[in-house]
Amino acid sequence: MARHERMPTDERRLAAAKAAAYHCGAFPTVPTISADELVRLRDTEEKVVVVDTRSAAERRVARIPGALSKEEFEMAIEDCQDATVVCYCTVGRRSGAYAARLAKSRACKSVLNSEGILMYSYLDAAGTGPHALVDELGAPATRIHVYASPWDLASERFESVKFGVLGAIGAAFE
């Protein structure tokens, strides 16, 4: 049984928000954008590029629709110079590190770090419509990869998937 499985939804959401604030806060030079703000930004701005900084295994389970992997983004970076780039991972740590490097390089107009897919999972929009999380086939996601037990804080609407010890070590070096 998952560590947070019996935790009520409001407590799970609060714990996810605290984890995101802590991890995003490690990168004070990169502005953080909430999941709600990300949806509004994508609805109102013409050129927003979302970069999923998680491993391929995590992306296969669920991702924000239209998000590029780091590799896909880096191959298209020339086309993204005038875009607002929003990086995300599980709770903002890996994406924050990537966003900080990207902002320092000045390759893009604006670089933001997202609170992560855990907070995104709590949005009503995450379940249906154009902002619904999708699996590797583009179908609505029913699961979310939470990386490991300490981050098993996704909305109860989604089944949590975690790495084992060896998988987490491998993903850390991907």
Q: What is the mean pLDDT of residues 101-122?
A: 93
Is the distance from CB of 114 to CB of 88 less than 8 angstroms?
Answer: yes
Instruction: Quote the tokens at residue 128.
Output: 């249906």
Is the distance from CB of 113 to CB of 143 less than 8 angstroms?
Answer: no
In 3D, which of 83, 75, 5 has the Cα closest to residue 42? 83
Greatest mean pLDDT among 6-15, 124-133, 152-161 lies in 152-161
pLDDT of residue 5: 54
Dist CA 123 CA 155 (whole Å): 9
pLDDT of residue 46: 83
Write the CB contacts of 56 (distance below 8 Å, at least 6 apart in sequence).
69, 174
Question: 16-43 burial, b if ≥16 CB within 10 A, otherwise e?
Answer: bbebbeebbeebeebebbbbeebbeebe
Check: pTM over 0.85? Answer yes or no.
yes
